[in-house]
C-alpha cells in the first residue's frame, strides 16, 4: 500500500480505513478469503467486454441495420454496463460489509445467466420487431435485478455495522431504480401511443441517473482513493450519506415531472440529482488535487465526471426549452451522447482498467504487467476520445462527425485489444 500522509489528522483513520476497504474490494479479499476469485472474475469480465466488442461490430454493420441506434444504446447499457453492475456491486458490497466470499458462486452465476438470456431476448425482440420476445427478455432482466436487490438487502441485514455501508445503500437505490425503469421499457415495446415520449424520458432518466449514476456515485467513496493511491478526503463518507437522500428525492421529482410533463418540476428534480453528484464529487476532487491522476483508469474516470455535469446542463436546457414532451424526447439524443459516451462508457472502461489486473491475481509482477498493458498510450487515448466527443457535439458537418465517431471507435478498440489479451494471458 502507498504511504498515506498525515495519519494523525482528524478523520485520517477513516481515510486509511476507506483506502484499505477499497483495496480489499478490488482484490476480492473479505473476512473469509476468496476461493477461486481469479477464475470467477476472468469469466465475469468476458461479459461486458463481449458486449463492447459487439458494439464495435455494430459500428461496422450499422448502415444495414435500421434499429442500430437503439441496439447501440442497449448493448452498452443493458449488456456491458448492467453486467458490470451486477458483478462489481456484489463484489464491493461483500468487501465493505466484510462478508466471507462464498466457496461457490452459484447464486451469482444464475443471476448473470438469467440476466444475459434476458438481454439477448430484448436485443433480438427490439431489433427484429418481435415485441413479446423483448417483453419476455425484460422480465428475465427484471428477475435477475430483483434477486440482486434481495441479495444486497440480506447482506446488509446479516452483516455487522460497517462504516462504509452507505455504498451498499447506493447499490440498493440503483437496483430499485432499474426495477422501476425496466417495466416501462418493456411496455414501450408493445404500446405506441401519445404517452410514449413521456415514457421514453422517464425510462431514460430513471435507468441512467438512477441505475447507473447512483452505482457510480456510491462506488466512488472507496474506489476513487484506491485508484489514485491516496487517502480518502475527511468528509467523503458524510458527503455520500448526505447526497443519497438528495439524489433519491431528485429522481422521484424528476420522474413525476417528465411523466406529468411539467418541465419546471422535472428540472428541479434534475437539479437535485446534480447537487447530489456535486456533493460526492467534491471530496473526490480534493483527493485528486492532492494526488493527481496518473493512469488510464484515473483519467478516464475523472473525464467521465466532467461529462456527467455537461449532460446535466444540456438535459436541463432541453427540458426547459422543448415545446412539449415529444420535442424533448426527439432532442434527447443531445443528452445521450455526452451521458453515454462521455460519462457511462468512460467510467466503465476506466473501472475495468483498474479492476481487472488486480482481480485476476497472479502476484505483483502480473498485476504490474497487466496494468502497463492497459495503460499503454493512455494519454493519447483519453485525449483523443474526449477531444473527438467535444468536437462531435459542436455544430459541425457530417464528415467531421464521421471522423470523430471513428476516433471514438478507435479509442474503444485500443482498450478492448489489450483487455482481451489480459484475460487470455490470465487463463493460461
pLDDT 10s digits, 121-146: 999 999 999 999 999 999 999 999 99
Superfamily name with CATH number, domain 16-427:
Cytochrome c oxidase-like, subunit I domain (1.20.210.10)
The answer to whether residues 53 and 423 touch, using CB atoms and an 8 Å cutoff, is no
What pLDDT is stored for residue 69 in this prediction?
Answer: 93
pLDDT of residue 102: 67
Residues 322-335 pLDDT 10s: 999 999 999 999 99
Share above pLDDT 90 across residues of the chain, in percent, rounded to a whole number: 79
Burial pattern 16-39, b for ≥16 Cβ within 10 A else e, equals: bebbbbbbbbbbbbbeeebeebbe
pLDDT at 332: 94
- pLDDT value, residue 158: 85
In the chain, domain spans: 16-427
Give the mean pLDDT of the chain: 90
Q: Please name which of 230, 365, 376, 363 lies closest in space to residue 296, comparing C-alpha atoms.
A: 376
Q: Which residue is associated with the grid cell 460497517?
A: 162
Confidence of residue 164 (pLDDT cuts 50, 70, 90): very high
At residue 104, does pLDDT exceed 80?
no
Q: For the segment 10-32, what is each residue's pLDDT rounded down to a tens digit?
A: 344 444 455 555 665 565 543 33
Q: Please give the pLDDT value at position 2.
A: 34
Mean pLDDT of 274-284: 96
What pTM value is reported for the model?
0.91
Q: What is the pLDDT of residue 101?
A: 66
Amino acid at each position: 500500500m502507498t504511504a498515506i500522509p498525515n495519519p494523525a489528522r482528524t478523520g485520517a483513520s477513516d481515510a486509511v480505513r476507506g483506502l484499505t476497504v477499497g483495496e480489499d474490494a478490488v482484490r476480492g479479499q473479505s473476512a473469509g478469503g476468496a476461493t477461486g476469485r481469479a477464475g470467477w472474475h476472468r469469466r465475469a469480465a468476458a461479459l461486458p467486454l463481449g458486449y463492447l466488442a459487439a458494439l464495435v461490430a455494430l459500428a461496422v454493420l450499422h448502415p444495414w441495420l435500421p434499429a442500430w441506434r437503439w441496439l447501440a444504446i442497449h448493448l452498452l447499457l443493458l449488456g456491458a454496463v448492467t453486467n458490470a453492475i451486477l458483478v462489481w456491486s456484489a463484489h464491493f458490497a461483500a468487501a465493505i460489509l466484510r462478508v466471507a466470499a462464498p466457496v461457490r458462486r452459484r447464486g451469482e452465476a444464475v443471476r448473470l445467466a438469467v440476466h444475459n438470456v434476458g438481454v439477448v431476448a430484448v436485443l433480438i425482440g427490439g431489433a427484429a420487431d418481435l415485441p413479446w420476445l423483448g417483453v419476455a427478455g425484460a422480465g428475465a432482466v427484471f428477475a435477475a435485478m430483483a434477486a440482486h436487490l434481495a441479495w444486497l438487502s440480506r447482506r446488509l441485514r446479516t452483516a455487522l455495522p460497517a462504516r462504509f455501508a452507505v455504498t451498499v445503500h447506493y447499490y440498493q437505490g440503483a437496483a430499485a431504480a432499474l426495477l422501476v425503469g425496466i417495466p416501462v421499457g418493456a411496455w414501450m415495446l408493445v404500446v405506441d401511443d401519445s404517452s410514449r415520449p413521456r415514457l421514453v424520458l422517464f425510462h431514460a432518466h430513471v435507468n441512467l441517473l438512477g441505475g447507473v449514476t447512483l452505482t457510480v456515485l456510491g462506488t466512488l467513496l472507496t474506489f476513487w482513493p484506491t485508484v489514485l493511491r491516496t487517502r480518502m478526503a475527511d468528509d467523503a463518507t458524510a458527503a455520500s450519506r448526505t447526497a443519497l437522500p438528495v439524489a433519491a428525492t431528485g429522481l422521484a421529482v424528476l420522474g413525476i415531472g417528465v411523466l406529468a410533463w411539467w418541465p419546471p418540476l422535472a428540472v428541479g428534480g434534475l437539479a437535485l440529482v446534480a447537487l447530489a453528484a456535486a456533493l460526492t464529487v467534491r471530496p473526490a476532487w480534493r483527493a485528486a488535487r492532492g494526488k493527481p491522476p496518473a493512469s488510464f483508469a484515473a483519467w478516464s474516470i475523472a473525464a467521465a465526471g466532467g461529462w456527467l455535469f455537461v449532460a446535466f446542463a444540456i438535459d436541463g436546457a432541453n427540458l426547459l426549452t422543448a415545446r412539449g414532451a415529444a420535442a424533448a424526447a426527439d432532442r434527447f439524443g443531445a443528452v445521450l451522447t455526452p451521458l453515454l459516451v462521455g460519462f457511462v462508457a468512460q467510467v466503465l472502461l476506466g473501472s475495468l482498467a483498474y479492476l481487472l489486473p488486480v482481480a485476476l491475481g497472479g502476484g505483483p509482477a502480473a498485476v504490474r504487467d497487466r496494468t502497463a498493458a492497459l495503460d499503454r498510450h493512455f494519454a493519447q487515448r483519453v485525449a483523443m476520445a474526449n477531444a473527438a466527443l467535444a468536437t462531435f457535439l459542436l455544430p459541425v458537418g457530417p464528415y467531421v462527425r464521421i471522423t470523430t465517431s471513428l476516433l471514438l471507435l478507435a479509442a474503444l478498440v485500443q482498450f478492448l485489444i489489450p483487455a482481451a489479451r489480459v484475460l487470455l494471458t490470465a487463463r493460461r
